[in-house]
A and B are shown apart, each in its own frame.
Chain A
Amino acid sequence: MNWRGVVAIYRFEMNRTFRTIAQSIVSPVISTVLYFVVFGAAIGARIDTVEGVDYGAFIVPGLVMLTLLQQSVTNASFGIYFPKFIGTIYELLSAPMSFIEVVIGYVGAAASKALMIAVIILITSAFFVDLQIAHPVWMVAFLLLTAVSFALLGFIIGIWAKNFEQLQLIPLLVITPLVFLGGAFYSVSMLPPGWREVTYFNPVLYLISGFRWSFFGVADVPIGISLTAICVFLAACLTAIWAIFKTGWRIKP
């Protein structure tokens, strides 16, 4: 393994994060604070409790997940797409690095950055609501698994995308709606019967539900199913990455 190469990519990507700190860290934090103000304070004050949890606190796991998914996908997709776009990918291809090492560098950096922002948001939320974490180890496990899986998805999107529009397409048109409809701001039990069944087809529901369980011990779906769902998703992304590696799809003619 060329670990020095992996570290070089990781450092380079993290440098990019700190170079563009306003865009990469301040902006997601501000938008999450806005959600707290609007949904937690203004509207949440009129909602009693959901599943026995204060509404302001109830939305915290959903908000953290929303940011974590968006950040891990966009960071990883942009991270690999940009070298493709400006042509510096030649250096990655000509370096004594395997594709897997390149993936570890980019996905590791994207997941780290997303986790960093998730933690900042968690800390910020503690200023607004009374936050309790029932299962801290599971919470960390869910954070890690989600960050890594969605950074892998982002990497695949970055390889697939041929232009900036395609790069934005999946995060904007697929991930954000799935998070909103996956119970980030409500419990599935609050939906009318027909819609409830539809929601079970949304994979993000299982992530948010599992993550919320680690906070409050309550969930829309059993925790085992949530864990299985995220592991299946992780396996699917790894398989896709392996296929890209084997064929050199869209990176190596």
Chain B
Amino acid sequence: MTLGNTFLFLRNAIRLNFGQLRTFFGQLRTFFGLVALLVVWEAIARFAFTQFYIVAPPSAIVVRIIEDQALFGRALSTTISEALLGFLFGNLAAIVLAMIVVVVPRIERLAQAIVLVVFCLPLVATGPILRVIYGPGWGPQITLAALSVYYTTFVPLVVGLRAVPPSWLDLIASYGRGSWTVMIVVRVRASLPYLIASLKIAAPAAFLGAIVGEFTGADRGIGVLSIQAMRTLDVDGTWALATIASVVAIIGYILVGWIGRALSIGDPPVLLVTPMAKAPKNRWLKFSLMIGAPILSILVILSLWQFSMDRLELSRFFAKRPGDVWAYLVTGLHAAANRDELFSALRETLVVMVPGYLSGLALGAGLAAVFCMLPAVEKIVSPIAIALRSIPIVVTAPLLVMATGRGSLGMVSIVAVMIFFPTLVSCLHGLRQAPGQVIDYFDSFRVPPLTKLFLAQVPSMFPSLFASARMAVPMAVLAATVAEWLATGTGIGNLMALTSSTSNYNMLWSCVTVLTLVSVAGYSLVAMLERLVLSRFAPEQVTI
């Protein structure tokens, strides 16, 4: 070996190790970021709020979890079983429905509308109704878990099943085969990345749904324990349960992602706007479709409501039909007073929900932009944000109320926090999605990071921002109503809880109807805005 070669060899050896060191230091940095966070937390709990029953120090939480591991373990196994069953049923329903919609596109508008409405049903109100229908047992827990997952699976899956190059379809057609062959041979495989991505979100969501279900009079589970802990001033217990629930949710998220990677299924592109069937050319036909489709959807939903209740022979005492709600709010004796009560509660909720929603979105998108400029910070924050996104709001709502107070500021921040993390994660993802080699192009000029951010990255973030803004609407409703019900006792969340204890089921169903309408309207508004903005900033996403 010549001296030069030896030198080259040594130099390469050092360089290679340096590369390994760099990734090692990257992980170390994330680790130390977390440790620093825990130390600050412990210090705050130990020294700043000692006389208040608000913050439990991490060490006390760990001690509590170890002390009560048998109890927590049994509760956890119950809640996880419920969540798993709900996960199964919910995703199965979503998969079947998505396949039907893709094979029979004519029913798409109708199916989308029904699916959206069911997704927008407020869990706080559906809980007690389901408990009455099912009686004791796991029914409500499983159903609520299923309800919280099926929509986030259905929408991306429809996109995924369609994300197939047209030439493949032509290939199958050239062999004289029909839609089902296309479905089995091509679409199912092409949709797998989308399915995995949605199942990742579904895993924590199912867990959250099961916990809300347990509030409806279950005998055991994490949800039952957290109510107990909250009512008995058991701060350590409340935090321990919130920690356990968060960790389980995060593990669920990671587990599904791991399965996806094991099957070597990559990440899909950003979730697109739900592609709609092309509008017809004829102006009258277009107009009648524009008016007719929503009317038809409403009629079908109303008759499903009436029909399913009649079919299950549910008692009119609590299972109010569409006609009852109409009478209660419009034609009945005290309709005006009822409307006043309902709408003033709704106003109270909207006053905190809308600012919370908007500030959550703004904060998520804004911080994503900031992190994008500071890659070192992003490396620490990104994994933490992904983890925090999965934390079930229900168990954290009391903690947030403890920390931020019971005023409207506290409520605004609960809603904002609920929306902030998903938006942050989605926007960070979106910022990396600049089309093609656009970022390379900007780099070839060495333009300052801020110019690059505003000219290239922020506009390419829009699809992600709007995708999360849409999904955040029902989430904001859930966060606001749950917090009102559990913590502040105000607004429509409280009205719904109250009416079910005073047997005012007319009001409960009216709340459900109005809140669902608000959710659907908010969702549609964002979707409209999305089409408008994306037709300028990401036209390929609208026309696909």
Chains A and B are bound partners:
no
